[in-house]
């Protein structure tokens, strides 16, 4: 009836309906059935759901549900008198909703699956009358007799092992007038179902009689039950299994060796070609790996143009390049090579390992509402520090270094709120007295000098323009248009361009000076902009 699939229902009905002609006193005729069944489950206590002998007004139960409904009803019509069926269920699943007594019982059902009478599976001995338990899901053949007396409306159900004579005492007896249930034309057969736990239900032979006893079943002619459970090992399996086991052990050993080698290789030192050529100070990868707890995201400080920045346990910020970066290894090498030998108190020590900046980047203090407002002294100190660092890059080192992306997010703050120029990924070097080579326009919109749109050639004065825009932004707390500041100047109120969150707590003369320097640095004509040495002279 079912073949072991979960949530399955199965039916087997005699193809020809029986006519249950009623006598003048409107009682249904007598009938009797005897059948042999077996139920297989992997475990007898985890099984579902059962088999039922059925006498019903129809043989199409397409609207019925499996599981506890045994393929006879669904949750909407269970118990409706219009169902017109009589059933004896062999239930292997305890369902509280249907008021089952246990997970191994026989019950009588009329038009629904809340049984009118039920008993745990077993039989009464003919010798001493003792009750003997039987396990329905033992996968042993058992026989059952169901008898209905139309005159007395008595229903008897008797269960016994296969090779035993019919017990004299029925397993259960009850009374029900089936003339109110069974109509003139009925089908006789079986229904079964599975739920979440699979099972297989078999009916191996049956006989049915109306107004007469059911004919005996010749048990010697019954089909054998299919083999269930593990098959005996074949000769082929005995040969293959040891070989397969040996191969499996070898594969596992190889995998373990590869994993160990891979783990060791994480700490292996590989000297890159560009390191051999330029030779900046190197750190052991394993030291950086341990310092950042394996580049753990809890130590992540931020994400830059070509990699992530992590905090290390020694208060060093470690930048690890992203192999999926759009900018890639060239920008990474540019940063390492171009500043490998730079040393200045207003430049971050930006190699593979950065000097840790506990206060993060400047832009957070300008735009993050949760950060405290920078006071005037802090803003002035930061601006002058970045000017000093830019002067070193342009004139005081052995080569000219162009940063090309001076802006608040690239300015880092140490524990004393000193500004440090960071993120040299766009930086380029060239010798003093040599014109820089034409290159692609790189940088951030809003900080790019206007001439770059025509010449594509960066020079120290393009850095000066970015510095000027940076100065105006730090003072006003927004990326300002130069014309806007000029408008304040034309009205004679240049100091009003200072961030109003300072509430007047600033040096007016110094503010005017710094704003004028910012305007001069951001002048559209390069020949008007001052050099960074001139800027430092103005500030001092």
Token digits for 141? Answer: 């053949």
HEC string of 179-206 equals HHCCCCEEEEEEEEEECCCCCEEEEEEE
**CA–CA dist 90, 193 (Å, integer):** 11
Token digits for 164? Answer: 């035993």
Q: 260, exposed or middle or buried, with CB in 10 Å at 0-12, 13-18, 19+?
A: exposed
Element (H, E) at 462: helix 460-476
C-alpha neighbours within 13 Å on the C-beta side of residue 505: 10
**CA–CA dist 489, 470 (Å, integer):** 18
**CA–CA dist 38, 51 (Å, integer):** 9
- Peptide bond between residue 49 and the one before it cis (omega within 30 degrees of 0): yes
Residue 376: closest CA among 308, 304, 474: 474
Element (H, E) at 274: helix 273-278
Token digits for 10? Answer: 């199965």
Known active-site residue 100: no
* Active-site option among 91, 100, 316, 405: 405
**Phi, psi of 341, rounded to the nearest 5 degrees:** -120, 15
Q: Which residues are catalytic?
A: 405
């Amino acid at each position: 009836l079912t073949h072991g699939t979960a949530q399955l229902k199965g039916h087997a009905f005699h193809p020809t309906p029986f006519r249950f002609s009623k006598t003048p006193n409107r009682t249904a005729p007598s009938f009797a059935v005897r059948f042999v069944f077996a139920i297989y489950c992997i475990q007898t206590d985890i099984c579902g759901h059962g088999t039922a002998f059925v006498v019903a007004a129809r043989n199409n139960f397409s609207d019925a549900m499996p599981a506890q409904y045994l393929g006879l009803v669904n949750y909407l019509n269970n118990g409706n008198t219009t169902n017109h069926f009589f059933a004896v269920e062999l239930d292997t699943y305890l369902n509280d909703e249907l008021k089952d007594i246990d997970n191994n019982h026989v019950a009588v059902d009329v038009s629904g699956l809340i049984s009118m009478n039920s008993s745990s599976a077993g039989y009464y001995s003919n010798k001493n009358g003792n009750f003997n338990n039987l396990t329905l899901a033992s996968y042993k053949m058992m026989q059952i007799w169901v008898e209905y007396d139309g005159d007395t409306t008595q229903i008897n159900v008797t269960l016994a092992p296969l090779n035993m004579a019919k017990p004299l005492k029925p397993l259960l007896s009850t009374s029900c007038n089936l003339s109110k249930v069974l109509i003139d034309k009925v089908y006789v057969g079986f229904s079964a179902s599975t739920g979440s736990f699979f099972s297989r239900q078999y009916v191996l032979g049956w006989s049915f009689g109306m107004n007469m006893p059911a004919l005996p079943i010749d048990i010697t002619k019954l089909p054998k039950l299919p083999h269930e459970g593990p098959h005996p090992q074949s000769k082929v399996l005995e040969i293959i299994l040891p070989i397969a086991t040996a191969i499996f052990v070898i594969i596992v050993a190889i995998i373990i060796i590869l994993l160990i080698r891979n783990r060791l290789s994480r700490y292996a030192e590989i000297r890159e070609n560009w390191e051999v050529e330029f030779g900046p100070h190197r750190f052991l990868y394993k030291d950086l790996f341990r310092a950042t707890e394996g580049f753990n995201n809890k130590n992540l400080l931020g994400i830059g143009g070509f990699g992530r920045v992590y905090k290390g346990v020694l208060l060093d910020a470690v930048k690890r390049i992203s192999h999926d970066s759009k900018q890639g290894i060239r920008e990474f090498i540019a940063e390492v090579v171009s500043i490998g030998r730079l040393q200045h108190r207003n430049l971050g020590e930006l190699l593979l390992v950065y000097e840790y900046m506990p206060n993060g980047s400047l832009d957070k203090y300008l735009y993050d509402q949760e950060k405290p407002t920078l006071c005037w002294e802090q803003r002035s100190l930061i601006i002058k520090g970045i000017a000093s660092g830019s002067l070193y890059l342009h004139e005081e080192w052995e080569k000219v270094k162009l940063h090309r992306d001076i802006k608040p997010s690239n300015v880092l703050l140490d524990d004393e709120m000193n500004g440090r120029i960071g993120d040299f990924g766009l930086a380029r070097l060239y010798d003093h007295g040599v014109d820089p080579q034409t290159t692609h326009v790189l940088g951030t919109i809003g900080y790019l000098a206007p001439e770059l749109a025509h010449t594509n050639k960066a020079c120290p004065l393009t850095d000066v323009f970015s510095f000027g825009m940076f100065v105006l932004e730090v003072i006003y707390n927004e990326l300002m248009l130069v014309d806007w500041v000029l408008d304040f100047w034309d009205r004679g109120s240049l100091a009003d361009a200072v961030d109003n969150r300072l509430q007047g707590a600033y040096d007016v003369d110094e503010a005017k000076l710094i704003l004028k320097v910012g305007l001069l640095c951001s002048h559209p004509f390069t020949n008007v902009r001052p050099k960074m040495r001139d800027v430092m002279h103005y500030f001092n």
